[in-house]
Amino acid sequence: MNMLKKSRDSTLDATRSSDSRPCTVDGLLIRLRCVERSYSVGRSQFFYVLRDIILEIAEGDFVSIMGPSGAGKSTLLHILGMHDHAWSGEYFFGETAVHHLKPKERATLRNEQIGFVFQQYHLLDDLTVYENLDIPLSYRRYSKSERAALVAGMLDRFQIVAKKDLYPRQLSGGQQQLVGVARAIIAGPRLLLADEPTGNLHSSQGEKIMELFRKLNNEGMTIIQVTHSEKNASYGKRVIQLRDGWIVKGEQ
């Protein structure tokens, strides 16, 4: 599909401007309305990575975003995670209109409400497991004793107390990802975003992480993962298929 376009489609623009129906907020954590992401490739020419994304995700949902390479999966995840700001459309997180927030306000909302799990773990190499877990708490208003209690509780829950003084390089891939998940949820975010969370793991390690995701979701956490794995997607509740920047399956 050719995604090179000189200007926006006038019919689509007219439809957007005339549709002023309010969006329901009952039970919804995320609402995307006509979200698009493009890059300029010349005078009045744009390459569209995401096109007219309309999506609703309820509190407690477990959604898998799938599609071929280049479909826009990671771009959508970065928008949901408020790392990418150069998009158009409307994004509501709960009742907060993210599209109206300034970059600093988005960063505050992200740090307080969203946890991230990455394929490459993204642990800080020069910090111990304990110190890596403490990092997200530094963005929030916890006392020193509260932070210590939260880290201790997470170490115990994930059965990594014995690893607390080790550095990431001293851990296996599965152990590093376990620490990554613990770090992502230690402050109790409303949303957990995962980008190919088992991509660098052996199958048995991957299954352990996915079983952990299922348990977290059963406890009420909303999870959105990007994955190429049908097996990983089966742990969730529904699948969103992307192709050439469009949602082709699973849209609201």
User: pLDDT tens digits, residue range 7-31?
Assistant: 334 333 333 333 333 344 678 999 9
Both tokens assigned to 72: 């826009």
Judged by DSSP in three states, 95 sits in coil
Q: Which domains does the chain have, with CATH numbers?
A: 60-86+103-249 (3.40.50.300)
How long is the chain?
252
How much is the pLDDT for 205? 87
HSE at residue 221, side-chain half, CA atoms within 13 A, is: 25
Residue 35's closest CA among 20, 45, 48, 25?
Answer: 48
**Residues 6+ positions from 18 with CB-CB distance below 8 Å:** none
Residue 36 has pLDDT above 80, yes or no: yes
Structure-derived torsion over alpha carbons of residues 147, 150, 155, 161, reported in degrees to the nearest 10? 60
Distance (Å) of CA 156 to CA 32, 98, 115, 130, 176: 37, 35, 19, 12, 16
Higher pLDDT, 80 or 249: 80
The vertex-238 CA angle with 235 and 239, nearest 5°, equals: 100
Which tens digit of pLDDT belongs to each residue from 185-224? 999 999 999 999 998 888 888 999 999 999 999 999 999 9
Q: Residue 37 region, left (φ>0) first, then alpha (ψ -120 to 50), else beta?
A: beta
**Entry pTM:** 0.84
Residue 238 has pLDDT above 80, yes or no: yes
**Residues 6+ positions from 114 with CB-CB distance below 8 Å:** 81, 82, 189, 190, 191, 192, 193
